[in-house]
Amino acid sequence: MSLWKRACLYSMRKRGKTITLFMFLLIMATLMLICLSIRSAAEIANANIKKALLGYFTVNAKQLDSGITEDMLGQILAIDGLSGKYTLRSYSYANYFDAERNPLEINTGSVTQIPEKYANAGKLVANSNTESDSYFIDAGFELTEGIAITSEQKNVVLLHEKFAERNGLSVGDRMFLGDVSDKSRAISVQVAGLFTNTKEQEAMEITPMYDLYDNIVFTDPATASYLLYGTEGETSVQYGDFYVNDPDNLEQVMAQVQEIKGVEWDECILTRYAKDYQNAKTSLAGLQNIVFIAIAIVSIISFLVLVLFLTLRLRGRIHETGIYLAMGVSKCTVLMQYLAEVFLVAAVALLMSYGTSAAISNQIGSTLLSQVTTDTYETTDLTGVTETIKETLIDLGLSEIKVSVSGKDYLAIWLFGMALCLGSTALAAYPIMKMKPKNTLSQMS
């Protein structure tokens, strides 16, 4: 009788035992696969935390004659490790005119002496996303009408509602911005929105009138680029904030930025901002270590349990082994038969484990995890009387956490599982094989 036939017959005859072994192998393989998929998911979650802590660096290119050009921006964005999120900013002063080029009236505050050329001028702030400008974030500005400016829009402005009221302007109206130097550049813009300040301006006595909140105008980077650099069809900016995926790589990315050729980096100031990450770094590493230990303990002990189990199973067959040997079946054939039995069951169990682990992983992924790639957060403004909640939608560009069994992991489990079956069966069979049939049979259970 061939050893394969014997193996099949044994497996079928001892149905209970085969099913137990099958269940055991299936459970262990499933556990290990889930363990591996949880590990990769935890890695993505960790990367998401790092990304959401928003480490970034600022390139201050105000001293460069042409600022950050589109070419330079493209080269910076091509560097590995940047999250793709960035903010472009420029600051200047501009003279304000209406559509007929008549000067618009600004708030002169308590100032008696008005500097020359600034009689109708104010601070011009250009931002690729005005919502994230420090005036809106830190100084308490709020949009009251219209929409915020993003880099997609060209030739648009946001005005203070008092300035708009003073000059009879409203959303949709057109006006002119002119530069305050002698270059006599002027550009036609459209009012996209109105804003107001929710906090009082500090120390208005010492504030130059063009910096007064009423006189500030927000615009898009392209418009400011024309006034500052005279560029047309191309946008140059003074400042760029570039966000990285992993704040740990911030230094490295900054070093790479400074290797870009054709830029006088000595004239630029690069500053790193990763305070939130620095605060969280130790705790985050602690959490990662716990994930690691969890996975390590589960894998190592699963391995031990598997070896012990296979050993236990084989010990019940000492008597059978003795009979085979007495019948003249070679030790090698007996061992091969035992291996064949285990492999048969293991192959089926491993095949099925893909299905079970994928099903469980899917459940974890879809029902337990937050699965938000666009993170919504609330800014709660609680007053004693009323409670208003406004929601801001911020796209952090986080990766979706997939708890899934990768092909690589599955292959690893196959190789590992088969090697384990081979190793432990051989190991368990060794002491039995060493004995003579006589000794084996006399050891009857």
Residue among 152, 155, 90 at smallest CA distance from 126: 90
Binding mask 52-91 for another protein (x = CB under 8 A): xxx---x-x-x--------------------------x-x
DSSP secondary structure, 227-285, as one string: HHH--SSS--BSEEEEEES-GGGHHHHHHHHTT-TTS-GGG-EEEEE-HHHHHHHHHHH
Min dist CB 33 to another protein, Å, is 11
Min dist CB 305 to another protein, Å, is 5
DSSP classification of residue 79: S
What region does 163 belong to: left with phi over 0, alpha with psi -120 to 50, or beta?
Answer: alpha
Contact stretch for another protein (CB under 8 A) within 50-58, 67-75, 326-334, 415-423: 50-58
Structure tokens at 138: 């830190």
| CB of 312 or CB of 332, closer to another protein | 312
Residues 322-361 touching another protein, rule: CB under 8 A, are 360
| CB of 99 or CB of 355, closer to another protein | 355
Distance CA 219, CA 133 (A): 11
Q: Does 22 bind another protein (CB under 8 A)?
A: no
Distance CA 223, CA 187 (A): 7
Residues 386-445 touching another protein, rule: CB under 8 A, are 394, 396, 398, 401, 403, 445
Q: Determine the straight-line distance between the first and last CA of the chain, rounded to whole angstroms.
A: 26
Q: Does 254 bind another protein (CB under 8 A)?
A: no
Min dist CB 233 to another protein, Å, is 26
What is the dihedral angle through the alpha carbons of 326, 332, 337, 339, rounded to the nearest 10 degrees? 140
Residues 218-247 touching another protein, rule: CB under 8 A, are 238-239
Contact stretch for another protein (CB under 8 A) within 194-202, 223-231, 324-332, 404-412: 194-202
Min dist CB 371 to another protein, Å, is 8
From 74, 84, 384, 407, residue interacting with another protein (rule: CB under 8 A): 384
Structure tokens at 347: 């192959």
Residues 86-115 touching another protein, rule: CB under 8 A, are 89, 91, 109-110
Distance CA 10, CA 163 (A): 92
| CB of 175 or CB of 337, closer to another protein | 337
Binding mask 130-149 for another protein (x = CB under 8 A): ---xxx--xx----------
Q: Does 266 bind another protein (CB under 8 A)?
A: no
SS3 category, 298: helix
